[in-house]
Chains A and B, each alone.
Chain A
């Protein structure tokens, strides 16, 4: 935990410097424009400078052990947590990626099938019911109710008859 605290503070400091660099690329001005007040880069630049100071301060406090995280000797993530986070973030990542190809509904279905059934170890009949019910619910709420079209990818042709029935 202590190492994570210090490394994260260092990353934040680096990120602040990157933001400061981004905020001063011309034509953004970080100084005081006469009669106009601060330039358009001023707010992000000086606020990022403040972030940098805070990040250093956080690092220093962590180093001295002034925060509970700075003193903690527990590992940042135990094996259960690592697995849980990796599976969750990974499967959501795959769902988004799949959306670009097979569309949101198919991606959602696969995600639910995996997360509820395989990872959550919920009995399969329930899993399948949930994996079908949720996308159907979302279709009716978003497409026919709110007229918000979710991406369909290559599954588009399947939806054309559904539009006729529910969206018009």
Chain B
């Protein structure tokens, strides 16, 4: 039953998005790429964002959504600083697009030295949002968020929260949690989400805020336990897990998975790419992928996406300021 509701929702949004870009569609036929398109990835090979980009590429290639190959290029250096800079240097280049994640906002804010302003880029499409869930090892007695807060307060700063690098998504979520519940934890940064999850299972950290896709395998094996999700609505694959919202704390955080192009490209070019990703979004492969990885998939393009980026950037700036990471 949940499945039908879900796909209904997906179709509804897809339909709305298709309607939104319908005006631009005829123009799409006017411009076509003449050489392979560079599909820049803001993360190194093998990371979550990379896997996603390669998956999208394979959908495009398998279903022949584009006349030319989309070639993934990893520029993961410096939390995506390399990729952002590359996009800026390719101002007006019609054959470069980039798959983004949340470091799209945070990296330019934290490193003004790279001289990138994301408002200059051309938004193409947001394809999905990944979610965050609070996890603990299942050999503890912690069964609810209340237990969790009590346990952290007892242990004080010796409580270890594992996550990805400082200033990245996991640390922001941790800061939000700490503020909402008036607790203080020791944040231990690791290299990637998979390593974080393994350290939780191995007992080297006490809790994590992994994406569901990173921890769901361990949950099925009975090694980790989800406590609550940082989403507006419960996640379908974890339907017994409450949201923080339902527990009375307004904690929502999401990781966007979008595609952007450099600034200074013509609307025809942008419309072409929107058309390609529209097809990707509507493919059955993409729908299955969303379901399997507990992604919240809804498409956003054009001005809506521009506004979305602006809002997210502002909220990240506020968050980073609060954490004392930037001035």
Residues of A near any B CB (own CB < 8 A): 35, 147-149, 156, 159-160, 163, 167-168
Contact = CB atoms under 8 A, between A and B. Distances in A.
B139 interface: no
Interface stretch (B32-40, B235-243, B249-257): B32-40
Contact of B35 (A35, A147, A148, A159): A159
B36 A163 contact: yes
Shortest 6 CB-CB distances between A and B: which pairs?
A147-B71, A163-B35, A160-B34, A160-B35, A167-B36, A168-B69
Contacts of A148: 71
Interface string B67-78: 111010000000
A159 B38 CA distance: 15
Chain B interface, >50% SS class:
loop
B195 interface: no
B186 interface: yes
Interface of B: 34-36, 38, 67-69, 71, 157, 186
Contacts of B35: 156, 159-160, 163
Contact of A149 (B34, B38, B157): B38
A131 to B, nearest CB: 25
Given A149-B38, A163-B36, A167-B69, 8 more contacts: A35-B186, A147-B71, A148-B71, A149-B36, A156-B35, A163-B34, A163-B35, A168-B69
A157 B69 CA distance: 18
Contacts of B38: 149
Contacts of B157: 35
A168 B68 contact: yes
Contacts of B68: 163, 168
A147 B36 contact: yes
Nearest to B166: A40
Nearest to B69: A168
17 contacts: A35-B157, A35-B186, A147-B36, A147-B69, A147-B71, A148-B71, A149-B36, A149-B38, A156-B35, A159-B35, A160-B35, A163-B34, A163-B35, A163-B68, A167-B69, A168-B67, A168-B68
